[in-house]
Amino acid sequence: MFSLNILPKLTAQPLHGLKRTVIMAVFDAFLASVPFAFLYQIILNMLSTTPDMTFQFMMVGGCAVFMILRIFIARYIYISINLIGFDAGRKIRRRLGDHLRKMPMGFFQETDFGSVNNTLLKDIDLIERIFTHIYAPLIATISILIFFAIGLSITNWRLGMAMMSTLPFAVMAYLLTRQYARKWQDRMQRLIHGLNDAIIEYMDGLKILKSHRMTGQAFTKLDDLLKKTRQQALNAEKAAVLPVYSFNLLVESGFIILLLAMTWSWTGGTLSIPQMILFLIASLRFFKPLLSLSMFLAELNYMDLAARRVDKILHLPTLPQGTSQPELKDISVSFENISFGYSKTVLFSGLNLTIPQNKVTALVGPSGAGKSTIASLVARFWEPQKGRILVGTGKDRLDISTMELEYWLHHISIVFQTSYIFNDTITNNLKVAKPDATDTELKNVCNQAQLGSLIADLPLGMDTEVGAGGIHLSGGEMQRLAIARSLLKDAPFIILDEATASLDPENERDIQLAMQNLIQNKTVLVIAHKLTTICHADQIIVLEQGNIAEQGNHEQLMAKKGLYHELWSLQESSKSWSIK
Ligand code: ADP
């Protein structure tokens, strides 16, 4: 249970102003309780044979001063608790973002996206909102109860005890029923995550479903899930109110016990009239915050569940993080006895290969041979189960996992088959790679990426919005924009995942030209799908089921008449293929 310490635990750093706000909330409760002592004096004074009017006005004045003071304190608490909540939300989001950045790609593939999404978007928001709404009132309420319990017990301990007699039972009932409610809430949460996934999947697949006229069939599945969620939501709500109801019922029965105790004390002669009046008034003030306490606890419970989900993500193991940032003079990369497999299957066992500095190394082989996985291991999307990936040559070689991940990635530029373009201007899409790039630099990379004439034709040039919300770019143009981004990053190691989709000849020529500019004087690893584009590579590694079948340059491999020769012949023959 995180309880009231939730936020400092999740942010992993102290929250500025929290202690001061807690003190102010307790002080506020004190100011709310003291007037009851004045009230008791007022009743005593009024019922005395000679009421002292000066004393009377002093007491009433005292109540007024405390009330005014509380207005200022309430304002202070309101502002500071909102600032703390906002600050904490920002810190938790940043911590989660940092943590997710260090996760292996496997996490994003194996975890259901709905639950991570929900935690990132809704849970933190929920924590922030509940915190700002209940934290201060909860502390104030608990403090008021303590002050009242002490004050009233001093006045008449029998009545004080009677008033609080049901409290331990109420707390016990609350804790017992809360376990039951939590089970339902957990079940509900899982269902909501599943529903989110199903909705995302439905929306993603809508195009394909439409083309197969299956939207209705797929929607029936989604609709069934919606109905099931609705029923479960009802059950969860019923379970959620149980702790609140049982707590309230037992607390309120304390008032009945108080009335009984009053009757008994009155007949026994141990209760005076001023005490009776005080207890009747104070009991109303005592039970009201107690009842709201159950609502606060219910909210705290929701906040606690959300905090657990955030905490669970924060405790997922990340990729091993090195701290060093050595100067890398030689960017050759070598795999030393690498063993790796996804889930339970083994893809590489004891793989050795070298990607030499300033040379083009091409990975070829049938689909599923492990080409993309090699690139992913270099980029540390995944971690090898055995062996080391080293950078440099000779005795200066360094294990890349000893370096800070960001620092290593700073040396790598990846051009994927499909490039992600932000809904933003061309300039901002490029500046992702180098935020302080000058206009001349931007213009140069666009020209090198064969985007010059396209940009010249755009209404706002470099400031034209592209992506879903702006001008639509073709697949080839998007890829050239991604190449321009990589050119701007100017990383010494380039990973190219060559496009498989057949582009029109003009686009293909432009992309080839852009790539030629990108790879000049760089260490290049290219995942080749079309062998014609890599026949001038310095080194070609032919993979087959996770093993290196052949290695050499184009001429050497062709002369061998092995797998490469076979793949080459296959591609040559497919050129003449057409739909008749
Ligand atoms: P290639 O790039 O040569 O087509 P990959 O490296 O993509 O080959 O894949 C090698 C093998 O690993 C294939 O059998 C593929 O199904 C499997 N694989 C690739 N990525 C994943 C993944 N994320 N999770 C599980 N298996 C994967």
38 and 134 within one domain: yes
Q: Distance (Å, rounded) from C-alpha 487 to C-alpha 311? A: 39
Identify the band that residue 28 occupies on the pLDDT scale cut at 50, 70 and 90: very high
The reply to whether ligand 1 has any atom less than 6 angstroms from the CB of 372 is: yes
124 found inside a domain: yes
Which residue owns the Cα nearest ligand 1 atom 13?
368
The reply to whether ligand 1 has any atom less than 6 angstroms from the CB of 545 is: no
- The answer to whether the beta carbons of residues 114 and 193 sit under 8 Å apart is yes
Q: What is the pLDDT of residue 2?
A: 44
385 and 280 within one domain: no
Q: How far is the CA of 575 from the centre of ligand 1 (A)?
A: 26
The reply to whether ligand 1 has any atom less than 6 angstroms from the CB of 109 is: yes
Q: How far is the CA of 480 from the centre of ligand 1 (A)?
A: 26
265 found inside a domain: yes
226 and 128 within one domain: yes
- The answer to whether the beta carbons of residues 262 and 159 sit under 8 Å apart is yes
Identify the band that residue 1 occupies on the pLDDT scale cut at 50, 70 and 90: very low
DSSP state of 380: T
Quick one: which H or E segment has residue 96? helix 53-101
Nearest to 426 by CA among 409, 445, 410: 445
- The answer to whether the beta carbons of residues 316 and 100 sit under 8 Å apart is no
Final residue in a domain of this structure, among 268, 288, 314: 314
**What digits encode the pLDDT tens for the residues 219-235?**
777 788 888 888 888 88
256 and 399 within one domain: no
- The answer to whether the beta carbons of residues 446 and 455 sit under 8 Å apart is yes
Q: How far is the CA of 566 from the centre of ligand 1 (A)?
A: 22
145 and 90 within one domain: yes
- The answer to whether the beta carbons of residues 534 and 526 sit under 8 Å apart is yes
The reply to whether ligand 1 has any atom less than 6 angstroms from the CB of 342 is: yes
Q: What is the pLDDT of residue 576?
A: 56
457 and 580 within one domain: no
Q: How far is the CA of 445 from the centre of ligand 1 (A)?
A: 33
Residue 336 β-bridge partners: 388
The reply to whether ligand 1 has any atom less than 6 angstroms from the CB of 368 is: yes
Please state the rounded mean pLDDT for residues 69-73: 95
Burial 54-73 (b: 16+ CB within 10 A, else e): eeeeebeebeeebeeebeeb
244 found inside a domain: yes
How would you classify the pairing of strands 539-544 and 523-527?
unpaired
Final residue in a domain of this structure, among 314, 349, 378: 314
286 found inside a domain: yes
Please state the rounded mean pLDDT for residues 54-61: 94
Kindly list the distances between the CA atom of residue 187 and the CA atoms of 22, 152, 203, 224, 231, in Å, as whole numbers in the listed order.
34, 44, 24, 17, 12
The reply to whether ligand 1 has any atom less than 6 angstroms from the CB of 370 is: yes
357 and 284 within one domain: no
Q: List the structure tokens of 318.
A: 């990340």
The reply to whether ligand 1 has any atom less than 6 angstroms from the CB of 245 is: no
- The answer to whether the beta carbons of residues 529 and 498 sit under 8 Å apart is yes
Q: List the structure tokens of 10.
A: 């999740």
Q: What mean pLDDT, rounded, does the chain reach?
A: 86
Query: Full-prediction pTM beyond 0.75?
Result: no
The reply to whether ligand 1 has any atom less than 6 angstroms from the CB of 500 is: no
Q: How far is the CA of 551 from the centre of ligand 1 (A)?
A: 21
- The answer to whether the beta carbons of residues 313 and 112 sit under 8 Å apart is no
Q: How far is the CA of 322 from the centre of ligand 1 (A)?
A: 27
- Report the SS3 class of residue 148: helix
Q: What is the pLDDT of residue 4?
A: 63
Q: State the sign of the Cα–Cα–Cα–Cα dihedral 360, 361, 366, 371.
A: negative
- The answer to whether the beta carbons of residues 92 and 310 sit under 8 Å apart is yes
Q: Which of 110, 335, 338, 342 to mutate to test the pocket of ligand 1 (most atoms within 8 A of CB)?
A: 342
The reply to whether ligand 1 has any atom less than 6 angstroms from the CB of 347 is: yes
DSSP codes joined into one string, 514-577: HHHHHHTTSEEEEE-SSGGGGTT-SEEEEEETTEEEEEE-HHHHHHHTSHHHHHHHHHHHHTT-
Highest mean pLDDT among 67-81, 276-290, 421-435, 555-569: 67-81
Kindly list the distances between the CA atom of residue 99 and the CA atoms of 6, 73, 312, 319, 342, in Å, as whole numbers in the listed order.
19, 38, 11, 10, 22
**Which range among 27-31, 76-80, 569-573 shows the weakest confidence by mean pLDDT?**
569-573
Q: How far is the CA of 368 from the centre of ligand 1 (A)?
A: 5
515 found inside a domain: no
- The answer to whether the beta carbons of residues 575 and 536 sit under 8 Å apart is no
512 found inside a domain: no
Domain that holds residue 529: 326-411+493-502+521-580
1 found inside a domain: no
321 found inside a domain: no
529 and 479 within one domain: no
Identify the band that residue 382 occupies on the pLDDT scale cut at 50, 70 and 90: confident
Which residue owns the Cα nearest ligand 1 atom 16?
368
Q: Distance (Å, rounded) from C-alpha 470 to C-alpha 457? A: 15
Final residue in a domain of this structure, among 438, 468, 490: 490
